[in-house]
Amino acid sequence: MRAGKEAHWDFLLSLMDDPQALLDVMDRSGVWRVGLVNYPSPDVMGFGDTTNTFAATYAQANPERLLPYGGVHARFTKDPAGDVDRLVDLGIRLLKIHPPHQGFPANAYTDGLDALGTIYRRCEERGLPVMVHTGTSIFPGARSKYGNPMEMDDIAIDFPDLALVMAHGGRPLYMEEAFFILRRHRAVRLDVSGIPPTKLLEYFPRLAEIADRVLWGTDWPSPGVKDLRQNIDQFLALPLSDAHRKAILETNALALFPPRHA
Ligand SMILES: [Zn+2]
C-alpha cells in the first residue's frame, strides 16, 4: 500500500483523516469534484465493507464535490441485492468492480458466480452506475488476466440499461479491445484515469469519435500520478477541440452525476 508513496505517506494519511485537506488540494488544482474510489477486497487489499461507510462518511463534508464510490464483493456477499440497496442508502454514487483485486472476470456471472449477476441487475434497477476496472494491476496478489475489457461485452448485452464505466481503458495492454467495446456499446463510458495524459491519444487515436462518453480522471494519488493539476494541463495541451475538452473535463461527468441540489 505504501510502495511508491513513501515520500508522501504522512500527507496521504492526513488527507484520509480530514476531507477539508482534500478539498484544499482540489481548490489549488482547479478541480470541482472528485470520485472517491473504494471497493471491498479483503483477501488482496485487506479491506472489507467498512470501506463503503468510510467513503460515505468522508463525503458528507461536501456531498456535491466529493462523490463516494463503493462496492459489493461478489465472492463474499451473502445478500448481493440488499448490499447494493445499502450502498444506495449510504449515498454511494457508483459501484466499482475490480476483477484483478477481487479475483474473478467481470462477466463471471455467465460461469456460475450468480451474486455478480444479481449485483449488476440491482444496480441497473436502482440506477447506480457500475465502474469496471480494466487493465493490469501490479498490486501484490492482483490477477491481471482479469483486466481484459472484452468481459464487458457480456455485461453491456445482458444489462442494457446499466450505466457502465470502463476504468483505465484496458491500459497498458488491452486498448484495442477497449475501443471495440466502447464503439459497440453506447451505454459504456470510458474513464481515462490511470492513463498518462501525454499518452492518451497514442492509446486512443480515435478518442474524438467517443468524446461524448469520455470521463476525466487521474487515479491520484496512486503511484506515478503526482499532481491533479499537472494531469489536467497535459490533457489541455493535446490536439483536441475545445468542445471535446469541455465534454471530457466537465459535461460528460455532470450528465452521469447530476448535482443533487442544483
Ligand atoms: Zn481501477
Cα 100 to ligand 1 centre (Å): 9
Cα 34 to ligand 1 centre (Å): 14
Q: Average pLDDT for residues 20-31, to the nearest whole number?
A: 98
Q: Average pLDDT for residues 66-77, to the nearest whole number?
A: 98
What pLDDT, on the 0 to 100 scale, is given for residue 199?
A: 97
Cα 136 to ligand 1 centre (Å): 9
CA dist 52 and 132 (Å) reads: 17
Cα 198 to ligand 1 centre (Å): 19
Q: Average pLDDT for residues 44-57, to the nearest whole number?
A: 96
CA dist 129 and 156 (Å) reads: 12
Backbone torsions φ then ψ of 254, nearest 5 degrees: -65, -35
Nearest residue to 130 via CA among 181, 167, 105, 101: 167
pLDDT level of residue 203 (50, 70, 90 thresholds): very high
Cα 45 to ligand 1 centre (Å): 13
Q: Average pLDDT for residues 88-103, to the nearest whole number?
A: 98
Q: Average pLDDT for residues 155-161, to the nearest whole number?
A: 98
Q: Average pLDDT for residues 120-134, to the nearest whole number?
A: 98
Cα 134 to ligand 1 centre (Å): 7
Cα 137 to ligand 1 centre (Å): 8
Cα 30 to ligand 1 centre (Å): 23
Cα 37 to ligand 1 centre (Å): 8
pLDDT level of residue 261 (50, 70, 90 thresholds): low
- Here the cell at position 130 is 457500475
Q: Which helix (H) or strand (E) holds 62?
A: none
Cα 85 to ligand 1 centre (Å): 23
Mean pLDDT taken over the chain = 96
Cα 56 to ligand 1 centre (Å): 19
CA dist 234 and 5 (Å) reads: 22
Q: Which helix (H) or strand (E) holds 95?
A: strand 94-97
Cα 96 to ligand 1 centre (Å): 8
Cα 193 to ligand 1 centre (Å): 8
Residue with cell 491519444: 201
pLDDT level of residue 5 (50, 70, 90 thresholds): confident
| Torsion, Cα of 134, 53, 141, 104 (10° steps) | -50
Cα 233 to ligand 1 centre (Å): 22
